[in-house]
Amino acid sequence: MEIQIAVAKTNKYASSESGDTLEVVERPNGGMSVVLSDGQTSGRGAKTISTMVVRKVITLLAEGVRDGAAARAASDYLYTERDGKVTACLNILSADFQTGTLVITRNNPSPVFVSQGGDIQCLSGESVAIGTSRNIRPSITEFQLLEGTTIVVYTDGLVHAGDRYGQFLDICTLLEGLLEEQNPTSQFIADSLLSEAIRIDQGRPNDDMSVVVLRVVSGVDDQIRRLAVRLPVPRIFPFS
């Protein structure tokens, strides 16, 4: 059995910096976590905020702190640092080998989709961004770590994709279609959802967009861990 995590991420059109930050960390008691934050507004200011939040959460998770406690700590930290004036959305997605579960932590109004045993569930219960008050709680959902599970997490750039053109991204239907294909990879699902979002924004994303897809697949039992990053060199890169 293998955990496949894939991310596809792009900036708001004509913006050189994404306000979304994403990092992956190994859990000290086994497993992996993905931390995604979307800072208020876009560009440099948003990037500073989302980086601050993700760094705090990653550091705590690496020390063995549980996901919910790490999310609360990040909220209090942001509230204190920025006097409650700045918000950030936060998602933590963990494959926890100690408990044998997949843990979804949300401080983000954007829903999360989970496909397990043929059904697609939409986790869309109320969930607020962190940073604006002292007692913000994350919404936490746990699933058994079972082969065939797929989880899709995304930032609000995808929620609002197509808004200006009277269109919207029906992630549930798209995901259903994608999962009908022959064992799609996580990267294929993430790329497909992102490219559809960019398409209905007429090729010019109206906001930063990030999609995370986690799948539990049978996989080759070779006990090799793999990581791959593809990073476009910016067009404004002074040396290219």
Q: Residues in the site for a second copy, rule: CB under 8 A?
A: 1-11, 21-26, 28, 30-32, 51, 55, 59, 62, 95, 97, 99-100, 144-145, 185-187, 190-191, 194, 216, 219, 221-235, 237-240
Closest CB to a second copy among residues 101, 121: 101
Q: Which H or E element spans position 68? A: helix 67-81
| Residue of 116, 198, 104, 122 whose CA lies nearest to 149 | 116
As measured in angstroms, the least distance from the Cβ of 150 to a second copy is 15
As measured in angstroms, the least distance from the Cβ of 187 to a second copy is 5
Q: Using CA atoms, how far apart are residues 61 and 33, in angstroms rounded to an integer?
A: 8
Closest CB to a second copy among residues 139, 186: 186
As measured in angstroms, the least distance from the Cβ of 173 to a second copy is 22
As measured in angstroms, the least distance from the Cβ of 148 to a second copy is 13
Closest CB to a second copy among residues 44, 85: 44
Q: Which amino acid is at 73?
A: A
User: Helices 186-200 & 171-179, crossing angle to 10 degrees?
Assistant: 140
Closest CB to a second copy among residues 139, 208: 208
Cα dihedral 179/181/186/187 (nearest 10): -130
Q: Using CA atoms, how far apart are residues 126 and 150, in angstroms rounded to an integer?
A: 22
As measured in angstroms, the least distance from the Cβ of 185 to a second copy is 8
Closest CB to a second copy among residues 128, 207: 207
Q: How far is CA 137 from CA 75, 123, 144, 172, in A?
A: 9, 16, 23, 26
Closest CB to a second copy among residues 180, 227: 227
Question: Which residue(s) pair with 104 in the sheet?
Answer: 93, 141
As measured in angstroms, the least distance from the Cβ of 240 to a second copy is 6
State the DSSP code for 130.
Answer: B
